[in-house]
Amino acid sequence: MTSIRTRFAPSPTGYMHIGNLRTALYAYLVAKKDPNGAFILRIEDTDQGRLIEGATDIIYKTLSECGLKHDEGPDVGGNYGPYIQSERMKMGLYKEYAMKLVEMGKAHICFCKEEDIEAQKEIAEAKGESFIYRDPCKKLSQEEIESRIKAGEKYVIRQNIDPNGKTSFDDEVYGTISVDNETLDEMILLKSDGYPTYNFANVIDDHLMGITDVVRGNEYLSSTPKYNLIYEAFGWDKPRYIHCPPVMKDETHKLSKRNGDASFGDLVEKGYLPEAILNYIALLGWSPSEEREIYSLDELVQAFDVKRINTSGAIFDINKLHWMNGVYLREMDDAKYFELVKPYILKSVHKDYDLKKIAHILKERANLLNEIPEMLDFIDELREYDVDLFINKKMKTSLEIAKSSLLEAQKFFENTSDWQSEALHDGLLNLAKDLGIKNGQLLFPIRVALSGKAFTPGGAIELSDILGKDESLKRIKIALEKLNEAA
């Protein structure tokens, strides 16, 4: 049996769109499902006007960060190169195959100007009519064609489509799709500048690179019949098609950088982990057979089944990604976690505090790396705060309760010689018991006094331990002065 070969074929136009990354992931999973499968990276740079310098490096970097290692590609080589379309074009590859189609009567040379065709299309659309272009150049004699080429007229090579009959294909997600040939416009294969169109180049390259399974967005469903007519014209085997639903911003809008939606790079900059992003986007349009959501890449390879890809678009939920990112952070090895969060801790903490203790209190509470500096902005210096923070309905605290609790905590801290987390824990809980109050009525005022915040990555005991005896007493004194002033 033929081993599975899939490809990811992005255009180097800047950022890595989330939808593009999901396509790469699905193509990788389909290939790796086969022990001998190959995942190929091909750079499609035929649209020269949209190219952005450095974008190819972004593609390499993104795939590397996500663990989507390609078996063949521009940077790793392979037996089917070059893997950059502009380099393949220099070999005369696309023109050769386009001219073969012309010779077979499956394509023709067209001298019509694209702007004239676009104008006709706009007129038809203004009238509410569909526009299917049928090229009058097909009626030109060979002699006239050669004469006009010799005179230097610019031309394109355009596909021939017999308007009679239907063209059908099977898709692993959407099933059998049939279209009337009369609804298919004759697409350009080779542009006047000699560059192939995306639609033509990807068919030629997929065949020559032995691609068995084509994974792409469902926006290409309408073009696939035209691609298949090219396969049929050459007598080539068609690949298995896997068209994926779009990633949506909401019910009606696709996720788009143009609309300010985050790219993969944007999400990483905000503090999301590549492995969490990859896990999350795997579930955007695909449903696993078991009730779970957290998957490593290797586990995704085992679990992935194209038959469970949905036909409807999936809405990108940043809150769900936020939660999943937190799961990944909490499940991380302590040593690895510390090295990961240390730079973020150091953005706020410059004094001589135990950074590992700080990392420990973050681990159960931080869902996003970029949240960390703000979560710790009270460690070095206590900022100004309002005494109303001491009033908390859930904790059953008032200004009076806060004041009395802090007075008792002050005495306890002054008389405590064992400033270790366990000793502080036992001592404060015993103090609450002796005072006949709930733990929260003692611990919450201490937390506010030490941080100036209602929500912190650690509670009163942990913060006391980190800040130390002198600093804790200093901050409790400030809190009592504020409460006295408010009385």
- Alpha-carbon separation of residue 478 from 103, 338, 481, 484 (angstroms): 90, 32, 5, 10
Three-class SS of the chain: CCCCEEEECCCCCCCCCHHHHHHHHHHHHHHHCCCCCEEEECECCCCHHHCCCCHHHHHHHHHHHHCCCCCEECCCECCCCCCEHHHHHCCCHHHHHHHHHHHHCCEEEECCCHHHHHHHHHHHHHCCCCCCCCCHHHHCCHHHHHHHHHCCCCCEEEECCCCCCEEEEEECCCEEEEEEHHHCCCCEEECCCCCECHHHHHHHHHHHCCCCEEEEEHHHCCCHHHHHHHHHHHCCCCCEEEEECCEECCCCCECCHHHCCCCHHHHHHCCCCHHHHHHHHHCCCECCCCCCCCCCHHHHHHHCCHHHECCCCEECCHHHHHHHHHHHHHCCCHHHHHHHHHHHHCCCCCCCCCHHHHHHHHHCCCCCHHHHHHHCCCCCCCCCCCHHHHCECCCCECHHHHHHHHHHHHHHHHHCCCCCHHHHHHHHHHHHHHHCCCHHHHHHHHHHHHHCCCCCCCCHHHHHHHHCHHHHHHHHHHHHHHHHHHC
* CB 301, CB 29: distance < 8 Å: yes
- Alpha-carbon separation of residue 205 from 97, 199, 212, 321, 343 (angstroms): 11, 11, 12, 36, 45
- Alpha-carbon separation of residue 454 from 277, 409, 437, 449 (angstroms): 30, 18, 20, 9
Q: Which of 463, 353, 460, 458 is nearest to 408 (CA)?
A: 460
Which residue, chain included where needed, has tokens 């676009």? Answer: 118
β-pairing, 213-217 vs 240-244, is parallel
Give the tokens for residue 433: 């018991």
Catalytic pick from 257, 270, 320, 453?
257
Task: Note if 95 is an active site residue.
Answer: no
State the catalytic residues. 257
